[in-house]
Amino acid sequence: MVTVSPPEPGTDQPRKGVLGMPATAVRHVRRSAASTPGRLFVIGVALVLLSLLTGLAGAIGLQQKQSTVDNLITHREPVAAASQQIYRSLSDADATAASAFLAGGTMPEELRDRYDLDIAQAGANLTKAAADVAGVPEAEAQVDQLAQQLPVYTGLVETARAYNRQGFPAGAAYLREASGLMRAKLLPAAQELYSIDFRRLADAQAQARAFPWVTAALVLALLGALVATQLYLTRRTNRLLNIGLVVATGSVVLALAWGSASLLIASNDVADGHDSGTRQVELAVQARIVALKMRANETLTLVARGDGADYEAEWQDLTAELAGDGDNLLARAQELAADQETRDVLETARATVDDWLGVHQKVRELDDGGAYQQAVDLAIGDSPEGAAATFAELDGKLLEAINNGRTRFVTETSAAGNALTGLVPGVAVLAVVAAVGVTMGVRERLREYR
């Protein structure tokens, strides 16, 4: 049997003393609050702590908002632009490879350089986008897909070129396989990656516009407590004003007014950057994606030599998105444009689409009528009235509209950041002033009881 010795007398006393400290402190506070000086002391300590807590919470919240606004310009929007450029480069590479194939024999140097530039830009922007996907499984999956399939695509294109140079019909089959891979895996992955990055950009903009409820609640609670304390002192002392508390209240009111005005201005600027910048860019980007798909379909229909009905059917379907009556991508982008210059650019783009539709109709008439080589010349030739030149003009106008929208985004978002300049240290200083004012005001009243 094990015998348990009783504890030594007094060994539980330190433990009981530690555990009883909160209760002891509460009793002391209650006893102190029973008298007017003690009550004033407790009120003063509470107001000082609330002032410092409000200042700390406000400074942290405002610093986070400032960082969010700055991050929009330096990181989130450039990454979204890089993702969009991946799609553009890959789609243009596919259309360029088809155009080069139609040229026959050795690829023209101009088209070869354009294809190589597209692949290089896609790789560079993929590297930039890949550096930002950590912790986002959906984005990681798209980056992995692109990294794995891009070398396969370029290998198929090179094989198609080799057979084409030798005049073997297998070249067309390899090119169709390459284009099929591009459409089935690469372009969907690039478009999904862009969609993810665009949503992350929109979420960051919403966060930058979010109202700081916690800080606002603390400020209003502090302001209410200061007013209540002054009313209490007025009833107790018959003195209308307490200079220290008036200074503290004035500091809180100033911080509230300054913060409210700055946050309202910043929120409006971020909203303007979203509407006339981000949303307009998104519509122009979607229009550019549709135009790139149409151009690839246009050339691949000719590569198929009578077996390209599916490509032509998709071309017709895409036309409605780009230039359909009423609500189409270009019309919606034009409505959101913030300046006349961008509206004019998009109006020119709409006119260019109409020109392209006319040229495409001629290409199809020539091809369907048996004039295949004339159709190819009109589709990929250097003529200013040809499909290649018309598409290049449209792509250039869309790029100009995108760049204008990005500039608008940067301008408005930078203005939002400027509106918050100095607010973080200002709020911290005003919180300290409020705490000092409370200390001085309460101390003056306490001296009267000595």
Cα–Cα–Cα angle for 324, 325, 328, rounded to 5 degrees? 55
What domain range is 409 assigned to? 47-447
Asked if residue 263 is part of any domain, the answer here is yes
Tokens for 431, please give them.
């919180």
Give residue 234's pLDDT: 82
Give residue 2's pLDDT: 46
For residue 183, give the DSSP letter. I
- Contacts (Cβ under 8 Å, ≥6 apart) of 294: 315, 318, 319, 322
Asked if residue 386 is part of any domain, the answer here is yes
Give the closest residue to 175 by CA, choosing from 189, 188, 163: 163
Contacts 24+ apart (CB under 8 A), 172-177: 172/101, 172/303, 172/304, 172/305, 175/97, 175/98, 175/101, 175/303, 176/300, 176/303, 176/304
Asked if residue 427 is part of any domain, the answer here is yes
Cβ neighbours around 31 below 10 Å, total: 10
Asked if residue 22 is part of any domain, the answer here is no
Asked if residue 91 is part of any domain, the answer here is yes
Give residue 59's pLDDT: 93
Give residue 102's pLDDT: 80
Q: How many residues does the chain have?
A: 450
On the 0-12 / 13-18 / 19+ scale of CB atoms within 10 A, 137 is exposed
Asked if residue 7 is part of any domain, the answer here is no
CA–CA separation, 237 and 440 (whole Å): 16
Asked if residue 14 is part of any domain, the answer here is no
Phi, psi at 91, each rounded to 5°: -65, -40
CA–CA separation, 176 and 382 (whole Å): 24
Half-sphere exposure of 383 (CA within 13 A, CB side): 13
- Write the DSSP assignment of 309-371 as a string of letters: HHHHHHHHHHHHHHH-SSS-HHHHHHHH-SSHHHHHHHHHHHHHHHHHHHHHHHHHHHHHTT-
Give residue 204's pLDDT: 93
- Contacts (Cβ under 8 Å, ≥6 apart) of 91: 182, 187, 289, 292, 293, 295, 296
Asked if residue 13 is part of any domain, the answer here is no
Provide the number of structural domains found in the chain. Answer: 1
Instruction: Give this prediction's pTM.
Output: 0.79
Consecutive 10-residue runs of the chain (450 residues): their mean pLDDT?
Answer: 52 54 58 67 89 93 93 92 91 86 74 90 92 89 94 92 79 86 92 92 92 91 92 77 88 93 94 89 90 88 82 88 81 89 93 93 91 89 88 92 92 93 93 92 74
Burial pattern 318-350, b for ≥16 Cβ within 10 A else e, equals bbebbbeeeebbbbbbbebbbeeebbebbbbbb
